[in-house]
Amino acid sequence: MPRAGAGRVDPPAVAFHHATKRFGSSIAVNDVSVAVEEGSFVTVIGSSGCGKTTLLKMVNALVMPDEGSVFVQGRATSELDPVELRRSVGYAIQGSVLFPHLTVEQNIAFVPSLLNKHDRRRTDAAVKKWMDLVDLPSTMRARYPAELSGGQAQRVGIARALAASPDILLMDEPFSAVDAITRSSLQDELKRIHERTGITVLFVTHDIDEAFYLGDRVLVMEAGRAVQYASPHDILSAPAVPFVDRLVAKRRAAYLS
């Protein structure tokens, strides 16, 4: 719930108000209205091409809605400087996409060094903090991305996304390129980070089990529409539409038993 203090109610961390996005004749996101409260972990799931990634990119103004609005901490993205917005919102995507010519330390320090300017001590402290939190040993600071395993590279990507201490973290299928054992470990790390930091997370995935394990709320997308937004338990026990019912049918007995 929004926090109240001295008669004031804080706005949601992210809010979509009738947001619609078209690419030519195709509607990627269709009239979505959803509010993501501060500190929530929201997983976004649906079939390929249902608009999940487009919805996520609206939050940091990589994509702007054709109709409706997107608000970040109460301010419309259309009114914000997109560069400043992107520096304040962490973004981690599939495969981590690290800068290949920079070391682990330089990758993680990239945004903090822009924000801290010449304050090297603050930047170093941020690098150490987030390397520790994602379980990366300090001996890896001087390595380059080509010298990392898939799981290590993904941890560096998460640390880089968090290094500027954003209030909001966007994640677009960040674990889909790693093996099942590494993926499970990264999921546990991310849950721990969320619990320790209270950051608001929007996490796109194709994996229904990952969505239910990580999310305290799950947004189900179908053909560009938000067809259900609820807790994992409520989605399993009371699917809102036939698509959601089919999506969770094989998991219902296991999760609700």
Whether 2 is covered by a domain: the verdict is no
| Residue 228 vs residues 176, 237, 239: alpha-carbon distances, Å | 23, 12, 8
Which CATH number does the domain housing residue 46 bear? 3.40.50.300
Whether 1 is covered by a domain: the verdict is no
Token pair of 173 as six digits: 């299928």
Average pLDDT over residues 148-159: 90
How crowded is residue 142: how many other Cβ atoms within 10 Å of its Cβ? 11
Range list of H helices, 134-241: 150-162, 180-197, 208-214, 232-237
Whether 202 is covered by a domain: the verdict is yes
User: Higher model confidence: residue 167 or residue 66?
Assistant: 66
Whether 236 is covered by a domain: the verdict is yes
CB contact set of 167 (below 8 Å; sequence gap of 6+): 13, 38, 73, 88, 89, 199, 200
37, 38, 42, 48: CA torsion to nearest 10: 80
- Please give the Cα distance from 161 to 6 (Å, whole number): 33
Residues 20-74: pLDDT tens digits? Answer: 999 999 999 999 999 999 999 999 999 999 999 999 999 999 999 999 999 999 9
Token pair of 170 as six digits: 């966007």
Average pLDDT over residues 156-161: 90
How crowded is residue 221: how many other Cβ atoms within 10 Å of its Cβ? 25
Side-chain-side CA neighbours of 66 within 13 Å: the count stands at 13
Global pTM?
0.89
CB contact set of 205 (below 8 Å; sequence gap of 6+): 43, 44, 45, 173, 175, 176, 211, 214
The pLDDT of residue 1: 41
Whether 19 is covered by a domain: the verdict is yes
CB contact set of 62 (below 8 Å; sequence gap of 6+): 86
Average pLDDT over residues 84-90: 88
Residues 94-144: pLDDT tens digits? Answer: 766 788 999 999 999 988 887 777 678 888 888 898 899 888 999 999 999
pLDDT-derived band of residue 6, with 50, 70 and 90 as boundaries? low
Placement of tokens 């590279």 in the chain: 153
Residues 192-232: pLDDT tens digits? Answer: 999 999 999 999 999 999 999 999 999 999 999 999 999 99
195-211 exposure pattern, b = at least 16 Cβ within 10 A, e = fewer? eebebbbbbbbebbebb
Whether 121 is covered by a domain: the verdict is yes
Cα angle value 167/59/222 (rounded, 5°): 125
- Please give the Cα distance from 134 to 115 (Å, whole number): 22
65 within 8 A of 15, measured Cβ to Cβ: no
- Please give the Cα distance from 156 to 188 (Å, whole number): 16
167 φ/ψ angles, rounded to the nearest 5 degrees: -85, -20
**What's the total number of domains in the chain?**
1
The pLDDT of residue 98: 87
Residue-number span of the structural domain to which 174 is assigned = 8-256
Whether 3 is covered by a domain: the verdict is no
Whether 36 is covered by a domain: the verdict is yes
